[in-house]
């Protein structure tokens, strides 16, 4: 019998982590939506410029939004990977696209953290 080329447990990792991040997002998205649209009594619940900066500069908020960004990016990249996998592409293309997704994920998180960092510093 041929031996497997990768750890057996590792192969089901992406489905598992998509589910785990997904469940985490149920909580995080709810918090995010409530905090942004159901707290402030403006049209759409949207804050003015000053309020936004004040909000994001609050340490606990900064952390939660940061964690939210990471989790949502991981979930999105895993989801896109799943869609790409369903195309049944050959090994070389699928590996290339997976590396592209990892890169995209890193850039997304980096950009987002820098963005809220700058905004928080302006409060």
Residue 64: CB atoms within 10 A of its CB come to 15
Q: How far apart are CA 74 and CA 114, in angstroms?
A: 18
Task: Answer for the pair 119, 52: CB distance below 8 angstroms, yes or no.
Answer: yes
60 scored as a contact of another protein (CB under 8 A): no
> What's 1's DSSP letter?
-
Which residue among 9, 59, 60, 92 contacts another protein (CB under 8 A)?
A: 9
Which residue among 17, 46, 99, 102 contacts another protein (CB under 8 A)?
A: 46
Which residue among 62, 64, 76, 98 contacts another protein (CB under 8 A)?
A: 76
Q: How many CA atoms lie within 13 A of 84 on its CB side?
A: 19
Q: How far apart are CA 45 and CA 37, in angstroms?
A: 4
Which residue among 15, 58, 93, 99 contacts another protein (CB under 8 A)?
A: 15
5 scored as a contact of another protein (CB under 8 A): yes
66 scored as a contact of another protein (CB under 8 A): no
Q: How far apart are CA 123 and CA 117, in angstroms?
A: 10
State the nearest-atom distance from the C-beta of 59 to another protein, in Å.
Answer: 19
Task: Answer for the pair 17, 78: CB distance below 8 angstroms, yes or no.
Answer: yes
For another protein, the binding residues (CB under 8 A) are: 1-9, 11-12, 14-15, 19, 22-23, 25-26, 29, 33, 37-38, 41-46, 48-50, 52-53, 72-73, 76, 79-80, 83, 85-88, 90, 108, 111-112, 115, 118-119
């Amino acid at each position: 019998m041929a031996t497997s080329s990768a750890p057996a447990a590792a192969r089901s990792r992406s489905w598992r982590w998509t589910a785990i991040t997904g469940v985490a997002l149920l909580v995080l998205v709810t918090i995010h939506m409530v905090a942004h649209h159901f707290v402030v009594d403006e049209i759409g619940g949207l804050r003015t410029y000053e309020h936004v900066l004040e909000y994001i500069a609050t340490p606990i908020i900064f952390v939660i939004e940061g964690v939210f960004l990471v989790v949502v990016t991981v979930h999105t990249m895993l989801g896109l990977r799943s869609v790409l996998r369903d195309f049944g592409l050959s090994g070389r293309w699928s590996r290339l696209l997976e590396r592209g997704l990892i890169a995209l994920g890193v850039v997304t998180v980096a950009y987002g953290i820098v963005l809220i960092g700058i905004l928080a510093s302006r409060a």
